[in-house]
Amino acid sequence: MAQSQRLLVLLLCFILLLVLAKAIENDDHGEKGGKNGGENNNDGGDNIGNGGKNNGGGNDNDDGKDDKGDKGGSKGKGGDDNGEGNNGNEHNGGDNKGGDDNGGGNDNGGDCNKPGGVCQDPRFVGGDGITFYFHGKKDRDFCLLSDSHLHINAHFIGRRNAEMNRDFTWVQSIALLFNDHKLYVGAQKTATWNNDVDRLMISLDEEQVLIPTEQGAKWQTPTVTITRSSDANAVTVEVEGVFKVQANVVPITEEESRVHRYGLTADDCFAHLELAFKFYSLTQEVDGVLGQTYRENYVSRVKLASNMPVMGGVEKFSTSGIYAADCTVARFNAGGGGVGLVTELADVIKCGSEVDGHGIICKR
């Protein structure tokens, strides 16, 4: 009898140990599940904090110096003599999904990622659909496009980044030369940004163009049509049979400056243009930073595998002034004409999109 009792006690102890082990195992699984759920929930917030693509990478090989990435990044690799195809690294890595991208999104709708788009530090989508950056230099003018009947220059503004040996730059204004006309579209210097205050400056043949600040308001001559696409800071300019361009004025925000270390000051938010071009009659002789990409025989030399494909050629595309058609690759002949390809429209633009500019091929 005593032996039977001992066996029963041992059996009960064994069962109790099994129950306790099972309880401990279930508790451990529950704790791990809670941790995993918390980590997954934090992912979105962590990604948002990165601020997306920063223009810190890449290099402009014209001065023979490599640009450094941000802290923790690596240096861009040297390029060829033309400064094209240089490789670089972004500041923080990671894509900015649904946030501001590289210095200025806007609420005007559309897409800056189609051929003819020019925005950010300046980020281009060429006529061949390949995305690249052309940093140029601050306070200088560069030829974006030059053809026999059309010439487009851009004035760059920016700040020097001592860590990268290059400038942060943005397109402050453009001048479009066609026939015997000179059309200017620019963003006025602004300290504190207000979306409701119009900061566009437009002139034709050096006479200011005044348009009522309401969406749809129109100003016309027999040659030029300018239409406000919003109450302030956005217009569409068209010369029939030659070009159409959507121009939006946007600022650099304090958050963008903090994330990308632009170093904004209280007296200037670096209001700049975001642009989307359509060209109607380019010839196969067209050239310029953007223009060359519309030639049928053009082969891009930027490195598509780079985080920031950079096109060099600062001196080749440099002009002596905003209205000067004297860059090395100039083709413009006032009053000249040309019959060529009709390009795809970048429509209206929005830089803050999920397409990130990693050598994206946009189908035309």
Q: CA-CA distance, 206 to 139, in Å (whole number)?
A: 20
Where along the chain do its domains lie? 1-49, 53-319
DSSP per-residue string spanning 285-317: T-BSTTGGGGSTT----S-TTSSS-B---HHHH
In whole numbers, what is the pLDDT of the chain averaged over residues?
A: 75
Residue 337: pLDDT above 70?
no
Q: CA-CA distance, 202 to 349, in Å (whole number)?
A: 19
Q: List b or e across 338-363, with b for residues whose CB sees 16 or more CB atoms inside 10 angstroms.
A: bebbebbbbbbbbbbbebbbebeebe
State pLDDT tens for residues 169-191: 999 999 999 999 999 999 999 99
Q: CA-CA distance, 291 to 330, in Å (whole number)?
A: 11
Q: For residue 26, what are the β-bridge partners?
A: none
- What average pLDDT does this structure show over 330-349? 55
Asked if 228 contacts 185 with a C-beta cutoff of 8 angstroms, the reply is no
State pLDDT tens for residues 277-324: 999 999 999 999 999 999 999 999 898 888 889 998 899 999 999 999
State pLDDT tens for residues 102-147: 333 333 333 688 899 998 788 999 999 999 999 899 999 999 999 9
- What average pLDDT does this structure show over 89-113? 39
- Report the predicted TM-score, pTM, of the whole model to 2 decimal places: 0.66
**Residue 107: CB partners within 8 Å, gap ≥ 6?**
195, 350
- What average pLDDT does this structure show over 38-48? 38
- What average pLDDT does this structure show over 54-61? 40
pLDDT at 27: 54
Counting residues of the chain whose pLDDT is more than 70, the rounded percentage is: 65
State pLDDT tens for residues 218-250: 999 999 999 999 999 999 999 999 999 999 999
Question: Model confidence at 24, in pLDDT bands (50, 70, 90)?
Answer: low
Q: Would you tell me how many other CB atoms lie within 10 Å of the CB of residue 151?
A: 28
